[in-house]
């Protein structure tokens, strides 16, 4: 099949254009949106699968409700591309995730129709409840609609919000978008519960039942029919008993009226249902069933891959192959091999076996692989419990998501000296995903924790050595950060070696300048060294390896010896690695000037790493300029 953008249908420049279309034109609009997304994202990359799954839902929402007065809160908001297209940004969709183009998530600063920005799962329902409660206090009449995927219901914050809804508002619409997938297939009791509802015999003809329900809901038989539809869903959480009054459904125990499940790709049915729900004076939840990747065969066949990906071939769905493994792939292969030799090693992730590479561990040692769903706080506690029993847990979570478990890292891990291995993928800039996904804060949120060890490798070989060191460290929590994508291409040695904790690597001696470059910034420092030496300067090059503890001896020795110290890090400068070096030198009474290269004290926008590094001064040229300015 050849995919192309269909330009024969009327353009949608605002929600009013959508409302003006005849109902019979909406399925064709849905197909135009899909073809546009498939064509566009093949060139830009992005969250294709999630957006293909919510086309009809988003059309129906904008048909019934009126943004920006009415509020749409999308959980994660990676499925917001269709919303962007229907709210005046269709002509800019080709700029999605491109520098100075549309963000891949919703942004309050991008459009008045984006009432809430997001990027992490589980935040939308609490925020939507806050909006609804504020509306009630102010005496407003706007609607608040929260769209949340079924995977988000594995998040603790969602249940905290559910616990408060009936107490804090009388009017809130929650759409449970059930496609059985987050990034990977959903796991746990909640996922099984939703599947039980969707496959219950009472819903074998769910389309017809739901259609009849909305058809007659305003008629004389509405009450009886509504009760019959609702009761067919009840009893799925607690056992059936002789009386209907003893039946139960999860959401109604929270005081939220449950409707569904209904076909999430039937536009007329969705419109009719929303028209009914907007008139209900009680919190409601609408359960819809959708297909992640609908309309594009490769995305339907591999939903995990097409959750979010780079450029791809439209005809085959294939992405461009790289000639060297990524850090994530090396991590998974290495830890899996270690685990085959050490039965104490277990792998834990929070719904991301694909992104972290742990699919290899899952396939080869399934009994010691644990996916806890989108529940980072629980993942940390789960790892702590395992560590108390003598196991060696490798807790593998993106740097930006590990933020959610900081209390557990301090209170449960560090205070008790539990040897949990924190493996933070995407440590550093995450490029096109933008500020919600950049891993630019983990040094700052970890380095103040007593007893915690933290490190970053300069290349793949050192990465494997660090993982081996972690595997053999049992004195307390130990963390490693590593970047997204490929390293410089150094092949790991056949047998890894243990590294001395807190011992830096002096790569080259020098008397004028000391470049102390952490992790993937080491390559920048190597080139800066060449340029500075071309100007007649003597340059020391140091690979610090350890963020905590720092190598006091090496850093102090060179700081006393040279005229300028320069630190480089793929992290914010505020409370980062360079700050740690400055604190060390201050405590030692060393006054040598320190130049720091890193990210500014702001939320860095989305764009390619090359563009963003150039803009914010994380380049060879900027490093040389900063160092020379201190020498002069």
Q: Please indicate if the annotation marks 151 as binding a ligand.
A: yes
Q: Please indicate if the annotation marks 83 as binding a ligand.
A: no
Strand residues in 64-131 grouped as ranges (E) = 71-74
CA distances from 85 to 41, 103, 553 (A): 13, 12, 57
Tokens of 231: 């009761």
Whether 404 sits among the annotated catalytic residues: the reply is yes
CA distances from 19 to 60, 230, 478 (A): 10, 30, 55
The separation between CA 25 and the C-alpha centre of its own chain, rounded to angstroms, equals 35
Q: Please indicate if the annotation marks 383 as binding a ligand.
A: no
Tokens of 391: 């196991």
Q: Please indicate if the annotation marks 454 as binding a ligand.
A: no
Rounded CA separation 156/123 (Å): 10
Q: Of these residues, 292, 294, 447, 545, which one is catalytic?
A: 292
Whether 376 sits among the annotated catalytic residues: the reply is yes
Q: Of these residues, 230, 376, 460, 462, which one is catalytic?
A: 376
Rounded CA separation 172/277 (Å): 9
Centre a 10 Å sphere on the Cβ of residue 592 and count the other Cβ atoms it contains: 16
Tokens of 57: 């839902």
Which DSSP string corresponds to 573-625?
Answer: STTSHHHHHHHHHHHTT----EEEEEE-SS----S-HHHHHHHHT-SHHHHHH
Chain length of the chain:
632
SS3 15: helix
Q: Please indicate if the annotation marks 411 as binding a ligand.
A: no
Centre a 10 Å sphere on the Cβ of residue 197 and count the other Cβ atoms it contains: 24
Q: Please indicate if the annotation marks 4 as binding a ligand.
A: no
Opening angle at CA 188, ends 183 and 192, nearest 5:
100
Strand residues in 291-428 grouped as ranges (E) = 345-349, 369-371, 392-398, 421-425
Backbone angles phi, psi at 4, to 5 degrees: -150, 165
Burial class (CB in 10 A: 0-12, 13-18, 19+), 330: buried
SS3 248: coil
Long-range CB contacts (< 8 A, 24+ apart) of 389-392?
390/344, 391/344, 391/345, 391/346, 392/342, 392/344, 392/345, 392/346, 392/419, 392/421, 392/471, 392/474
Whether 324 sits among the annotated catalytic residues: the reply is no
Q: Please indicate if the annotation marks 534 as binding a ligand.
A: no
- Omega cis (within 30) before 68: yes
417, 420, 423, 424: CA torsion to nearest 10: -50
Q: Please indicate if the annotation marks 16 as binding a ligand.
A: no
Q: Please indicate if the annotation marks 179 as binding a ligand.
A: yes
249, 294, 103, 328: CA torsion to nearest 10: 90
Q: Please indicate if the annotation marks 119 as binding a ligand.
A: yes
Q: Of these residues, 404, 458, 484, 613, which one is catalytic?
A: 404
Binding-site residues, in ranges, read 78, 119-121, 150-152, 179, 296, 376
Catalogue the active-site residues.
292, 376, 404
| Residues in the annotated binding site for thiamine diphosphate | 78, 119-121, 151-152, 179, 296, 376
Binding-site residues for Mg(2+): 150, 179
């Amino acid at each position: 099949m050849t995919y192309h953008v269909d330009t024969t249908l009327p353009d949608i420049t605002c929600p009013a254009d959508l409302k003006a279309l005849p109902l019979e034109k909406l399925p064709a609009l849905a197909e135009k949106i899909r073809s546009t997304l498939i064509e566009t994202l093949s060139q830009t990359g992005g969250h294709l699968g999630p957006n293909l799954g919510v086309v009809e839902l988003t059309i129906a929402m904008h048909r019934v409700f009126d943004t920006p007065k009415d509020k749409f809160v999308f959980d994660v908001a990676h499925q917001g591309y269709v919303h962007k297209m229907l709210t005046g940004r269709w002509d800019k969709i080709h700029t999605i995730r491109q520098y100075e183009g549309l963000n891949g998530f919703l942004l309050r600063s991008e459009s008045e129709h984006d009432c809430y920005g997001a990027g992490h799962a589980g935040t939308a329902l609490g925020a939507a409840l806050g909006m609804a409660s504020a509306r009630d206090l102010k005496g407003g009449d706007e609607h608040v609609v929260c769209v949340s995927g079924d995977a988000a219901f594995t998040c603790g914050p969602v249940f905290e919000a559910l616990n408060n809804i009936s107490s804090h508002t009388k009017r809130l619409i929650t759409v449970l978008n059930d496609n059985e997938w987050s990034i990977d297939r959903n796991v746990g009791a909640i996922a099984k519960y939703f599947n039980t509802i969707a496959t219950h015999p009472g819903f074998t003809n769910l389309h017809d039942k739901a259609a009849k329900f909305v058809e007659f809901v305003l008629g004389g038989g509405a009450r009886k029919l509504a009760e019959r539809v609702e009761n067919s869903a009840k009893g799925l959480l607690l056992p059936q008993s002789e009386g209907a009054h003893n039946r139960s459904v999860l959401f109604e125990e929270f005081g939220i009226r449950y409707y569904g499940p209904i076909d999430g790709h039937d536009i007329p049915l969705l419109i009719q249902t929303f028209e009914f729900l907007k008139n209900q004076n009680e919190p409601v939840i609408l359960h819809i069933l959708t297909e992640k990747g609908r309309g594009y065969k490769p995305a339907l066949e591999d939903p995990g891959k097409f959750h979010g990906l780079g450029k791809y071939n439209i005809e085959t769905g294939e992405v461009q192959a790289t000639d060297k493994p990524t850090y994530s792939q090396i991590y998974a292969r290495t830890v899996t091999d270690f685990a085959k030799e050490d039965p104490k090693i277990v792998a834990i992730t929070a719904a991301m076996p694909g992104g972290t590479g742990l699919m290899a561990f899952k396939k080869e040692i399934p009994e010691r692989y644990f996916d806890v769903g989108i529940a980072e706080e629980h993942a940390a506690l789960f790892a702590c419990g395992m560590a108390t029993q003598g196991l060696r847990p490798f807790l593998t979570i993106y740097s930006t998501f590990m933020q959610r478990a900081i209390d557990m890292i301090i209170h449960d891990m560090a205070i008790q000296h539990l040897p949990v291995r924190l493996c933070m993928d995407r440590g550093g800039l995450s490029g096109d995903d933008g500020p919600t996904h950049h891993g630019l804060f983990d040094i700052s949120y970890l380095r103040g924790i007593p007893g915690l060890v933290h490190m970053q490798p300069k290349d793949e070989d050192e990465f494997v050595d660090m993982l081996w060191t972690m595997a053999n460290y049992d004195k307390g929590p130990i963390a490693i950060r590593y970047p997204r994508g490929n390293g410089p291409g150094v092949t790991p040695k056949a047998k890894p070696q243990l590294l001395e904790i807190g011992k830096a690597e002096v790569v080259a001696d020098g008397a004028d300048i000391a470049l102390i470059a952490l992790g993937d910034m080491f390559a920048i420092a190597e080139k800066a060294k060449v340029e500075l030496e071309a100007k007649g300067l003597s340059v020391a090059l140091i690979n610090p390896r350890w963020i905590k503890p720092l190598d006091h001896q090496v850093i102090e020795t060179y700081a006393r010896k040279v005229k300028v110290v320069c630190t480089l890090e793929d992290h914010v400068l505020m409370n980062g690695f360079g700050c740690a070096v400055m604190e060390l030198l201050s405590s030692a009474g060393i006054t040598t000037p320190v130049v720091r290269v890193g990210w500014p004290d702001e939320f860095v926008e989305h764009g390619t790493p090359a563009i963003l590094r150039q803009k914010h001064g994380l380049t060879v040229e900027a490093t040389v300029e900063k160092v020379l300015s201190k020498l002069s």
